[in-house]
Amino acid sequence: MRLSQFAKIVQPSATLAAGAKARQLREQGVKVFDFSLGEPDMNTPEHIAAAAASAVVAGHTHYTPAGGLPDLKKAVAQWYAKNYGLEAGLDRIVISNGAKHAIHNALLALVGPGDEVIIPTPYWVSYSDLVVMAGATPVLVPTTLESGFKMSPAQYRAARTPKTRLLMLNSPCNPTGTVYTRAELEAIVDAVLETEATILSDEIYEQLCFGDARPTCIASLRPGLLDRTVTVSGASKSYAMTGWRMGWAIAPPAVAQLMTDIQSQETGCPSSVAQHALIAALSGPQECVARMRQEFAARRDIVAGRLAAIPGIRLHRPDGAFYAFFDVSSYFNSSIRDSAAFCTAALAEAHVNLVPGSAFGCEGYVRLSFAVARAEIEGGLDAFAAWLARR
Ligand code: PMP
Ligand code: GLU
| CA pair distance 20, 45, nearest whole angstrom | 26
Q: Decide: 170 in ligand 2 pocket, CB within 6 A.
A: no
Q: What is the CB neighbour count within 10 angstroms for residue 222?
A: 14
The chain-wide mean pLDDT, for the chain, equals 97
- Which residue has a Cα nearest atom 1 of ligand 2? 38
| CA pair distance 382, 34, nearest whole angstrom | 13
The predicted pLDDT at position 307 comes to 98
Q: Decide: 125 in ligand 2 pocket, CB within 6 A.
A: yes
Q: What is the CB neighbour count within 10 angstroms for residue 117?
A: 27
| pLDDT tens profile 143-194 | 999 999 999 999 999 999 999 999 999 999 999 999 999 999 999 999 999 9
Cα–ligand 2 centroid distance for 134 (angstroms): 20
Query: Which ligand is closest to the CA of 321, given by its number?
Result: 1
Q: Decide: 318 in ligand 1 pocket, CB within 6 A.
A: no
- Which residue has a Cα nearest atom 8 of ligand 1? 38
Cα–ligand 2 centroid distance for 38 (angstroms): 5
The predicted pLDDT at position 16 comes to 84
CA 319 to chain centre: 15
The predicted pLDDT at position 15 comes to 84
| CA pair distance 214, 320, nearest whole angstrom | 9
| pLDDT tens profile 199-244 | 999 999 999 999 999 999 999 999 999 999 999 999 999 999 999 9
**Pairing outcome for strands 355-356 and 365-369:** antiparallel
Cα–ligand 2 centroid distance for 288 (angstroms): 22
The predicted pLDDT at position 345 comes to 95
User: Going from the N-terminus, what domains does the chain have, and what CATH number goes with each?
Assistant: 5-43+288-390 (3.90.1150.10), 46-283 (3.40.640.10)
Compute the C-alpha angle 66/68/71, nearest 5°: 145
Per-position b or e across 132-168, b if 16+ CB within 10 A of its CB: bbbebbbbbbebebeebbbbbbebbeebbeeebbbbb
Atom of ligand 1 nearest to the CA of 247: 16
- Which residue has a Cα nearest atom 12 of ligand 1? 99
| Furthest CA-CA distance within the chain | 62
Q: Is a pLDDT exceeding 90 seen at residue 13? A: no
| CA pair distance 242, 277, nearest whole angstrom | 12
- Which residue has a Cα nearest atom 3 of ligand 2? 38
Q: Is a pLDDT exceeding 90 seen at residue 22? A: no
Whole-model pTM: value is 0.97
